[in-house]
């Protein structure tokens, strides 16, 4: 539960400071062109700051411009990915006679989330980055996924707290 709270807070921090983090990763990718990844990470955080021609996001989409379908799909995918082990092992505790069989269902829970990511979310992001880079649609898609991820962590936290207080 602590890790879900940490993931929720970290995702919220990234959402609030999205421009800072995307600039940080742009700088990291520029350093990676010249160095190995560990050296690039060290140079980004401790090296001298080079003047790069980085993209600054000027317009952040409002919550009402985001796609509800993409938010909910992302929330379902990340809910299954973040709680797969917890659900499977929780069921294994509740059904001790079949605990080995039930504990193996963690792969099924993760598989649901992975399929949604692989078949819907990743192609949608790739297509919007390839085609709509000049329009703000790609940024709305990214924010929709982030909001969905936050909702998934919040829902997971509520479900786990509910189960904790119920048992």
pLDDT for the residue numbered 66: 86
pLDDT for the residue numbered 133: 63
Tokens representing 30 are: 């520029």
pLDDT for the residue numbered 41: 86
Using alpha carbons only, give the angle 140, 127, 123 rounded to the nearest 5 degrees.
Answer: 95
pLDDT for the residue numbered 148: 93
pLDDT, one tens digit per residue, over 13-68 is 888 887 778 778 888 888 888 888 888 888 888 877 655 555 556 667 777 778 89
For residue 158, give the H/E element and its range.
helix 137-166
| Percent over 70 (pLDDT), the chain | 89
- pTM for this prediction: 0.76
C-alpha 89/C-alpha 86 separation (Å) is 5
C-alpha 49/C-alpha 36 separation (Å) is 18
- DSSP annotation of 19 reads H
């Amino acid at each position: 539960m602590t890790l879900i709270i940490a993931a929720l807070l970290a995702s919220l921090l990234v959402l609030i400071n999205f421009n800072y983090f995307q600039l940080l990763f742009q700088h990291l990718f520029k350093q990676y062109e010249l160095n190995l990844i560990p050296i690039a990470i060290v140079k980004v955080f401790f090296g001298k700051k080079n003047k790069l021609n980085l993209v600054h996001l000027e317009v952040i989409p409002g919550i009402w411009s985001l796609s509800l379908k993409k938010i909910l799909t992302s929330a379902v995918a990340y809910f299954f990915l973040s709680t797969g082990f917890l659900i499977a092992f929780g069921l294994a505790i509740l059904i001790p006679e079949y605990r080995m069989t039930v504990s193996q269902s963690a792969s099924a829970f993760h598989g649901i989330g992975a399929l949604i990511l692989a078949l819907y979310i990743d192609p949608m992001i790739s297509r919007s980055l390839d085609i709509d880079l000049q329009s703000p649609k790609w940024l709305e898609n990214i924010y929709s996924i982030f909001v969905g991820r936050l909702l998934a962590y919040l829902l997971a936290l509520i479900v786990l707290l509910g189960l904790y207080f119920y048992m």
